[in-house]
Structure 1
Amino acid sequence: MSKRIVIVGGGYVGLYAALRLQQRLRSGEAQVTVVNPENFMVYRPLLPEVASGTLEPRHAVVPLRAVLSGTRFVAGRLTGVDTQRRVASVAPEAGPELELEYDELVLGVGAMSKLLPIPGLADCGIGFNSLAEAVHLRDHVLRQLEIASATNDPELRRCALTFVFVGGGYTGVEALAELQDMAVDVLEGYPELDVSEMRWVLVEAMDRILTTVSEDLAERAVSELRARGIDVRLSTQLESAEGGLVRLNDGDSFRASTLVWVAGTKPPPLVKELGLPTDQRGRIIVDETMRVEGHPDIWAAGDCAAVPDLENGGVCPPTAQYAVRQARRLGDNLAERLRGGELRPFHYKSKGEFVTLGMNKAVGEMLGRKVHGRLAWAARRAYYATQIPTWNRTIRVLGDWLVGMPFGHDVVNLDSREEPRGAFQEAAGRRG
């Protein structure tokens, strides 16, 4: 009887581990099942460019059913694991709960935004951890430009044109830089507005941004942002945001219609409920082969797991580079375990880092050499284009980039898609 491998999560870990098993396993050797709420994987490094409109949302995703041929896919959410019976409980979108029996279980459930108990944050904040949030934020920023251009109220105008991002990691810096670049680019379509009226603020609690890259690279990024008029506040925290009034612990306060929270992530609450060992940050404790401590038939990797970093010490950083390599090593180890072979520890040394700061703007380090400007921007795009699974997606992404380069950003705001039945309900007399 073939072994049953259940992979929970369709992100980097789930997709790349399943792809590796497709390559390594012989026909009939194992049945692989991937469980994920959506039938696609989001290529997260491209979300800032989805937000700025330089990339179509559908081109930043990978359809799981299309690329995982020979792998069973179940659209649903993990609700529990019975380690004694070796059963994973899954809730599909509709219908009764499913019980998936497994011989080997892989957990790659990723992470979610880590919110702090800051007054007003839950009511006013916008996240940036999913495709929907990236698309929503683009529409939101364009909507603020429309509000500012149409009002005679100076306070409302200032509020609409103030954009605050809390969190100076990769996500926060790239999202802010891309959106600010977009807003400046499209402003010629708003003759009522001047670029000097826009206020972009980056709030970071630590004394530097981009803590996972070299200090020189982080300083270059700060210099680039400040040269564009972006207010970078280091060693500063958000104290409250009630009623749209942003209060910082440095004593400053101002109104802002846009507050983006990108100050860290945490494993989903379900991880703690599974009864598996976790560290102080809620990540599943695994050994260097990515097997869960005390559970030789359960594996975990990516943002939800504390994978030992054998090259630099500590735990591997939560980046796409590491997650993809972890998934491939995990797939290899699963294949070896089925055949009684030797499991190998995860080793990886980063080949470089890139941070996009808008069109033709980036900083990076590759093969020990620091680069910036157009060269870093082009190198980053070339790298990510070649890393996206399937040539189909690679060609689509390259097409988006090539078409967009000479024409700039689009000012179309499609926020009506957030309420697609609105016009129908209005026609039926059920609105307003």
Structure 2
Amino acid sequence: MMEKTCVIVGGGYAGIHAVKAVQKAFKGRAIKIVLIDKNSYHVRKVLLFKPAVKDEDIKIPFSEIFPEGVDIIQACVQSLFSENKMLRCLDSAGETFDIHYDYLVLAAGSVVREPETDRGGIALSGIDAAQQINKAWRANLKAAVTETDKQKKQSLLSISVAGAGLSGIETAAELAYSIRAYAKELGLEEREVNIYLMNAQNRLFLDGPSSVGDKLERDLKEAGVKVCHNSRVLRASGGKVQLENGNEMLSDLCVWTLGLQPNPMLQQMNVPLNADGKVIVDSSYRVKGLPSVYSVGDCAHIVDAVSGKPDKMTCKEAGAQAARLGQVILADIKGIKAPLHKSYRDTYCWSIGPDKGMGWVSKWGLNVMITGKLGLKMRKFTWDIASLLRIY
């Protein structure tokens, strides 16, 4: 049998799980798997807050994840020529080249939403930005040691995290722990440090019961985070953050955590996109109008046929979709009915600093909260399994 080529674009959570799923489904069959990513490593994106507070490496070389059986190409995809089953790519040296595929999986993922540059602050958009945040708050605390102006000192000791989703909650909690520890080390009063979580809504966690949001808020308060509801940040400048309601708060550093948007690279690939910029697929992840092309993860618009609700942009959804994808491709080759998408059950996890976490599971009409060290253990498990650090 002639060897077929399956090309997977993107080495994020969906991409690496798609590689594993194709390997598993095609075991014993002639298949060449090619992974294309702009980097030579996988970024554990859900841990971006880690390098924002300490020197922690959240990169895993693809060669460690896939020591054999996968061709890894470091390049950016520029165009898709579906009629010829060809991708045009640009390598790090600025050279273009084409690569043929028999089956193509678009798992280009998402990028962090960033505010306009004139709004100030630093968006937690990647490793470089996280390291910039780390340097900024450390410099502020050092400057506060000798600052005599009371208002300026308060501003230097105050950080605002703008955006109270999963990333904002975990970032604020981790910052609160690390900054207070560093303040104590510098001889500053820990009680003078202010970590604000700026929430544009009237409560945390609108995707679940208010009791879960209330518990999150209590845990954050215990961790040293002050949650400010109905407080949408407009801009940060001059040692202050300005709110949509007209109020101002002293805060020299504003960290933006505004959620995700589909990878803008898809705009140039001649694939059908919805209004949000996501790839339009059917219930088996096939891209509309493009034979042998599939899409999973944050970049795909995947709708549950029963509930009519689209999947969220989280690593647990990406992993579950990708795990099913291998069987879908194999079924299409055999000409049999392919598996259909099923939404992941309502499960959410948060870390609340380095020694506490929280999980919420909704099943069979029951709501279960898991807190404390067990909640953190659950959260760490989801981090690890998302990056294939645990066998599933």
Are the counterparts in 2 of residues 48 and 174 from structure 1 also a CA contact under 8 Å? yes
Q: CA deviation at 1:228?
A: 4.6
Q: CA deviation at 1:127?
A: 2.0
1:159 partner SS: helix
2:48 partner SS: helix
For 1:171-186, what aligned pairs fall within 5 Å after superposition? 171-186=167-182
Which residue does the alignment assign to 1:429? none
1:314 partner SS: coil
From 165, 187, 199, the equivalent of 2:194 is 199
Q: CA deviation at 1:312?
A: 4.3
| Distance (whole Å) between structure 2 residues aligned to residue 144 and residue 311 of structure 1 | 51
Structure 1's 229 and 19: CA in aligned 2 closer, same or farther, altered over 3 A?
closer
Which residue does the alignment assign to 1:371? 370
Are the counterparts in 2 of residues 4 and 103 from structure 1 also a CA contact under 8 Å? yes
Structure 1's 52 and 317: CA in aligned 2 closer, same or farther, altered over 3 A?
same
| Distance (whole Å) between structure 1 residues aligned to residue 241 and residue 382 of structure 2 | 38
Letter of the 2:302 partner, please give it: V
Letter of the 1:99 partner, please give it: D
Structural RMSD (CA)? 2.5
Query: Does 348-357 or 176-185 show the bigger shift?
Result: 348-357
From 312, 317, 324, the equivalent of 1:322 is 317
Letter of the 2:81 partner, please give it: D
Structure 1's 109 and 266: CA in aligned 2 closer, same or farther, altered over 3 A?
same
Q: CA deviation at 1:28?
A: 5.9
Structure 2 residue 52 is the aligned partner of structure 1 residue 30: no
Give the TM-score normalised by structure 2.
0.90
Return 5+ residue gaps in structure 2 as ranges: none
Are the counterparts in 2 of residues 138 and 179 from structure 1 also a CA contact under 8 Å? no
From 183, 189, 205, the equivalent of 1:187 is 183
Q: Which runs of 4+ in 1 moved over 6 A?
A: none
From 118, 121, 137, the equivalent of 1:120 is 118
Structure 1's 195 and 310: CA in aligned 2 closer, same or farther, altered over 3 A?
farther
Letter of the 2:44 partner, please give it: Y
Letter of the 1:7 partner, please give it: I
Which residue does the alignment assign to 1:56? 56
2:84 partner SS: coil
Letter of the 1:42 partner, please give it: V
Letter of the 1:376 partner, please give it: G
| Distance (whole Å) between structure 2 residues aligned to residue 275 and residue 200 of structure 1 | 44
Are the counterparts in 2 of residues 311 and 348 from structure 1 also a CA contact under 8 Å? no
| Distance (whole Å) between structure 2 residues aligned to residue 275 and residue 244 of structure 1 | 45
For 1:349-360, what aligned pairs fall within 5 Å after superposition? 349-350=344-345, 352-360=347-355
Letter of the 1:381 partner, please give it: K
Query: Does 133-142 or 5-14 show the bigger shift?
Result: 133-142
From 327, 330, 333, the equivalent of 2:328 is 333
Once the two structures are superposed, what CA deviation does each residue of 1:182-212 show, in whole Å capped at 9, x if it has no partner?
A: 1123332121x11222222212222222334
Query: Does 336-345 or 28-37 show the bigger shift?
Result: 336-345
Are the counterparts in 2 of residues 120 and 242 from structure 1 also a CA contact under 8 Å? no
| Distance (whole Å) between structure 2 residues aligned to residue 205 and residue 293 of structure 1 | 36
1:290 partner SS: coil
Which residue does the alignment assign to 1:14? 15
Once the two structures are superposed, what CA deviation does each residue of 1:4-34 show, in whole Å capped at 9, x if it has no partner?
A: 2111100011111111222222456222111
Return 5+ residue gaps in structure 1 as ranges: 394-432
| Distance (whole Å) between structure 1 residues aligned to residue 381 and residue 262 of structure 2 | 31
For 1:86-101, what aligned pairs fall within 5 Å after superposition? 86-101=85-100
Structure 2 residue 165 is the aligned partner of structure 1 residue 166: no
Structure 1's 197 and 312: CA in aligned 2 closer, same or farther, altered over 3 A?
farther
Are the counterparts in 2 of residues 217 and 363 from structure 1 also a CA contact under 8 Å? no
1:147 partner SS: helix
Q: CA deviation at 1:243?
A: 4.4
| Distance (whole Å) between structure 2 residues aligned to residue 373 and residue 390 of structure 1 | 23
2:83 partner SS: coil
Once the two structures are superposed, what CA deviation does each residue of 1:221-243 show, in whole Å capped at 9, x if it has no partner?
A: 11222345533222222223344
Letter of the 2:49 partner, please give it: P
| Distance (whole Å) between structure 1 residues aligned to residue 167 and residue 220 of structure 2 | 15
Which residue does the alignment assign to 1:81? 80
Which residue does the alignment assign to 1:41? 42
Letter of the 1:133 partner, please give it: A
**Equivalent residue pairs, number:** 386
Query: Does 249-258 or 322-331 show the bigger shift?
Result: 249-258
Once the two structures are superposed, what CA deviation does each residue of 1:270-313 show, in whole Å capped at 9, x if it has no partner?
A: 22222322222111111111111222321111111111134643
Structure 2 residue 95 is the aligned partner of structure 1 residue 107: no
For 1:241-260, what aligned pairs fall within 5 Å after superposition? 241-260=236-255
Query: Does 92-101 or 169-178 show the bigger shift?
Result: 92-101
Once the two structures are superposed, what CA deviation does each residue of 1:137-162 show, in whole Å capped at 9, x if it has no partner?
A: 23332222122124334343222212
Which residue does the alignment assign to 2:153? 157
Give the TM-score normalised by structure 1.
0.82
Letter of the 1:67 partner, please give it: I
| Distance (whole Å) between structure 2 residues aligned to residue 129 and residue 213 of structure 1 | 26
| Distance (whole Å) between structure 1 residues aligned to residue 41 and residue 86 of structure 2 | 24
Letter of the 1:171 partner, please give it: S
Which residue does the alignment assign to 1:426? none
| Distance (whole Å) between structure 2 residues aligned to residue 36 and residue 387 of structure 1 | 17
Structure 1's 84 and 296: CA in aligned 2 closer, same or farther, altered over 3 A?
closer
Query: Does 60-69 or 325-334 show the bigger shift?
Result: 60-69
| Distance (whole Å) between structure 1 residues aligned to residue 174 and residue 268 of structure 2 | 37
For 1:269-418, what aligned pairs fall within 5 Å after superposition? 269-310=264-305, 312-350=307-345, 352-366=347-361, 368-385=367-384, 388-390=387-389
| Distance (whole Å) between structure 2 residues aligned to residue 308 and residue 384 of structure 1 | 24
